[in-house]
Structure 1
Amino acid sequence: MDSATQSIVERLQKWSSCDVSDGLSRLGHVHGGFLEGLVMYSPSFRAETTKIVGPVFTVKFAPKADKQAPKVEGNYIDQIPKGAVVFISQPTPHINACYGGLMSLRAKYLGAAGVIIDGFLRDLQEHRDLEFPVFSKGTGTTAGNSVCFASEINVPIKLQSTIQEATINPSDYIIADLNGVVCVPADLVEKVLEVIPDIVGADEKCANAIRNGVTVKEAFKTYRGK
C-alpha cells in the first residue's frame, strides 16, 4: 500500500460507516455509498466494534458451466495485497457458499483488512476463531468449487441486487462495521473526508442539546440548519 492510500485509510478509520455514508449523501452520491444486503458475520454477528477499512481488491466468480469466462491463474487468495478489503462477487443463481475457513486463514496471514462476499460463506466458526472480519449475505455448507470458480480479479463488479444499482471498482475504498458496508468511489474520497467533520460536529452539538432538554426540532434547526 503506497503512502497516499495509507493516509486515506488512516483518516477513514476515524469514522463509522454511517458518518462516511452521510458525507457521500451530502455530496449527492446515490444511497450514500451503502451496499444493501451485506452483513457482518465474523468475528461476531453485527456486534462489538469491529470495523474494516481499506482499498478494494475485487474477485469475480463465474459459474462452472461458463466455458467462455477467463480463469484466475493460481488461487486468488494468494494474490491479496496487504491491507486490502477483498470483495467477492458470487454468481447467481447459487444458493450455497463460495468462501470458507481456509481462505480466511490465508487472507489473515497476508494481512488483508477483511472480506466481503456478495454471496454466501461457510465454516463460520473457523472465521470467528480467527477473529477475522467477514461480511456476507448469508451462510451455506458446501464449497463453491463444484459450481463456480474465480474468473477475474481487480475488475469492476456490480452488486447483485434486485433493488439497487451499484458498481464496486478496484480503486474504491470500503468501510464496513456493524451498521453495514459503504463503498467510497476513489474520486470522491478526499471530498468526503473534507465534509465529514462538519456533519459529525453538528450531530454532536445536537446530541448535547437534546441531553439538556432541547427538542429535536430545535436542535436540528440550530445545528443542522433544518
Structure 2
Amino acid sequence: MASSASTEKLPFYSSCDVADALLTLKVPGAGYIPDIHQWSPQYKAGYTRVFGPAYTVQMVPVTDTEAPKPDQHFVDAVPEGTVVCISQPDNMVNAVWGGLMTARAQVRGALGVVVDGRIRDLNEQREAGFPVFARTTSIMGAGPFTRASALNVPIKMHPNPNHPAVTIHPGDYIVADADGIVVIPKDMLAQVEAQCKKSTAVDDQCMTALKAGEGISTTFKKYRG
C-alpha cells in the first residue's frame, strides 16, 4: 500500500513526469492511454490535473442481452474521491457520458471522468467545470446503443492499435491533464513518486542550464548522463 504522503504529493507531477517514471520502471507502454484528450473544463489547455483511484465501468452494446446488468445506475454508484473510467465498445457512434451524468457525479464527489469512447454536452461540462477526458464527441445519447454491464472490474482501454492496451484495475491511480492520461498500478505509487522526484530534479537542472545559454547536448550529457 502507498503511504498517505505519496497520495498527497503525486498530484504535483504531470502525466508526462509519471509516464517517464513508469517507462524507467519498465511498465509496459508506460501506462499511457493515447488518443484520449481533455475536453473540459478546456480543450487540451489550462492547468486542470486529475489524480485519484479508478472506479471502472464496462459498457456493452444494448444488443448484448447476456452480459450482466448492475443493480443501480453506474453514476449512482460512484465512490467519493474516485476517477470514473469507462470502456465503451469499439465503433459506436453514441456518447456514454453527458451533462446530466456530470451533475450527478459531482454530487457524488467524483474527481473527473476518462472515457475510452465518446462524450457529449460540452458546454454543460465546461460550465460545471468538471474534468472530462475522452476520445471524441457525439450528439447521440447512450440509451439506444450501449449500456453499463460491470462495475469496478478490470477494464481495457485500447484507443490506438499501435500502442499496447492498458488494463485499469479498480483502485489503480489515474493521472490526467492537458497532456494526456496515464495509469499507475496501485501497488507502484510509492515507486513512481520516488522516480518522479528524482527525474524532475534533473529536469529542473536542465531547464536552468538551457535558460542560461547551454546547448541541449551539453546539458543532457552533464545532467542526464
After TM superposition, the score normalised by the length of structure 1 is: 0.95
Aligned partner of residue 148 in structure 2, secondary structure: strand
Q: Deviations over 1:109-128 (max 9, x none)?
A: 11111001110001111000
> How far apart are the structure 1 equivalents of 2:108 and 2:3?
18
Task: Give aligned-pair identity as a percent.
Answer: 39
5+ residue gaps, structure 2? none
Q: Deviations over 1:120-161 (max 9, x none)?
A: 001111000100000000000111111111101100111133
After TM superposition, the structure 1 stretch with the greater mean CA deviation from structure 2, 163-172 or 146-155, is 163-172
> How far apart are the structure 2 equivalents of 1:86 and 1:173?
11
- The answer to whether the 8 Å contact 1:116/1:134 transfers is yes
> How far apart are the structure 2 equivalents of 1:6 and 1:101?
33
Match of 1:28 among 26, 32, 36: 26
- Residue 203 of structure 1 is matched in structure 2 by 203
Q: CA deviation at 1:4?
A: 5.9
For 1:125-204, list aligned pairs within 5 A.
Answer: 125-161=123-159, 162-164=161-163, 165-204=165-204
- Residue 96 of structure 1 is matched in structure 2 by 94
Aligned partner of residue 171 in structure 2, secondary structure: coil
- Residue 112 of structure 1 is matched in structure 2 by 110
- The answer to whether the 8 Å contact 2:3/2:190 transfers is no
Q: 1:135 to 1:68 in 2, by over 3 A?
A: same
- The answer to whether the 8 Å contact 1:82/1:112 transfers is yes
> How far apart are the structure 2 equivalents of 1:192 and 1:4?
10
> How far apart are the structure 2 equivalents of 1:84 and 1:7?
18
Aligned partner of residue 115 in structure 1, secondary structure: strand
Q: Deviations over 1:61-100 (max 9, x none)?
A: 1111111100111111011111100001111220221111
- The answer to whether the 8 Å contact 2:2/2:190 transfers is no
Q: CA deviation at 1:212?
A: 1.2
- Residue 8 of structure 2 is matched in structure 1 by 10
> How far apart are the structure 2 equivalents of 1:6 and 1:52?
17
- Residue 61 of structure 1 is matched in structure 2 by 59
> How far apart are the structure 2 equivalents of 1:18 and 1:149?
33
- The answer to whether the 8 Å contact 1:5/1:55 transfers is no
After TM superposition, the score normalised by the length of structure 2 is: 0.95
- Residue 40 of structure 1 is matched in structure 2 by 38
